[in-house]
Structure 1
Amino acid sequence: MYEYRKLSQEEKIALVQERLKKGFPPHSPPHPIKNSEFYLITTTCYEHKPRINTEQRRQQLLNELFDKFINQGVEILAWVILPNHYHLLMKNVEFKLLSKTFRLIHGLLARQWNLEENTSGKVWCSYSDRAIRSERHYYTTLNYIHYNPVKHGWIESTYDWAESSIHWYLENHGRDWLREYWVKYPVKTYGKTWDDI
């Protein structure tokens, strides 16, 4: 989205035409694979501004996500909520319901947070998704989610971030399991090469 703003008018037209040829929406993230069992879902705050900037807001968002998705039979298997974006590893995703649910959650929180900050304007960008392609892709994604607060410089240890599923995995599988899967499925450059797993 941010690179798009730097393009000339001719480049913008060419880019939109290329997206349309591929069957993608003109400006929104495409959702090309809709029959996978697992997905990495990523949502960012508009212009990456840190709008989820308190533990209270991050916990409120997490509560809303679990509350709304559990009623739809969607499982959230891993998560991390950061000040300007979040990642979810999900199972049983129904894309029509997913979009509606995000609009419901994000609309509610955007209104509340704008009122709290005595401001107005866009809070969220559209979500993006990555279909999980293999066991290696699944566990590398899990590690990527847990490592994300460290990657972005918010903390030094993954265990220091409260709004992360690493605490659930630590409690239910133990530190040795986490360490074993971290070594077996390293993150490396994951995020730049999303699907090269």
Structure 2
Amino acid sequence: MQYRRVYVPGGTYFFTVNLADRSRTLLVDHIDDLRNAVQEVLTSHPFRIDAMVVLPDHLHAIWTLPEDDADYPMRWSLIKAGFSRCIPADEQRSKSRIAKGERGIWQRRYWEHLIRDEQDYTNHVNYIHYNPVKHGHVTRVADWPYSTFHRAIKNGQYPPDWSEEPIFRRLG
């Protein structure tokens, strides 16, 4: 079965990308390598990062792509590969991954959601910024260092003490 994704040139998307081994903390342990991998892709294949949070074992992001471009899979592939090249090859790999010459750092698939409207956008941005609290890493959103929340404070989008529980959590 072919996995179906929605491709909208210039679209705004929410993503969840996970490590294969969710007990590892590679993303924060190697945050500079992740930042460099993202920056390299931003330079060669531009897009806008509207919001992002990096947790030890997964990340969430909202990207807006250029008007004539819908190729977010290529961007994620390049980011994952760039990051993986920086990490020591000590992870467990399945026979399938070995046969395909793949590392075992990332889950093969990721979740994407095309943002539908302003409320959907706001809900997802809030979800991203609240995620470190949701997972128990901090008690205040502002205390998590690996988040665009700090940029949003500087831009006046949030007060420094913001801690709204997202609608996703209230409804769930």
TM-score class, shorter:
0.7 to 0.9
Pairwise CA RMSD of aligned residues?
A: 2.8
Partner secondary structure for residue 48 of structure 1: coil
Q: Which runs of 5+ in 2 are unaligned?
A: 94-103
How far apart in 1 are the matches of 2:171 and 2:31? 25
In the other structure, the counterpart of 2:98 is none
Q: Aligned pair in 2 of structure 1 residues 41, 191: CA closer, same or farther (>3 Å)?
A: farther
Identity among equivalent pairs (%): 23
1:79 offset after TM fit, Å?
0.4
1:100 offset after TM fit, Å?
2.5
Q: Aligned pair in 2 of structure 1 residues 174, 107: CA closer, same or farther (>3 Å)?
A: closer
The higher radius of gyration belongs to 1
Equivalent residue for 1:169, pick from 152, 159, 166: 152
Equivalent residue for 1:83, pick from 36, 43, 56: 56
Count of aligned residue pairs for this structure pair: 158
1:133 offset after TM fit, Å?
0.8
Q: Aligned pair in 2 of structure 1 residues 156, 59: CA closer, same or farther (>3 Å)?
A: farther
Q: Which runs of 5+ in 1 are unaligned?
A: 1-19
In the other structure, the counterpart of 1:6 is none
Structure with the largest fraction of helix: 1
How far apart in 1 are the matches of 2:148 and 2:122? 13
- Say if 2:56 is the partner of 1:73: no
Q: Which has the higher contact order (CA 8 A, sep 6+)?
A: 2
In the other structure, the counterpart of 1:52 is 26
* TM norm structure 1: 0.68
- The one-letter code sitting in structure 2 at the alignment partner of 1:188 is I
1:120 offset after TM fit, Å?
5.0
CA contact (8 A) 1:76 1:88 kept: yes
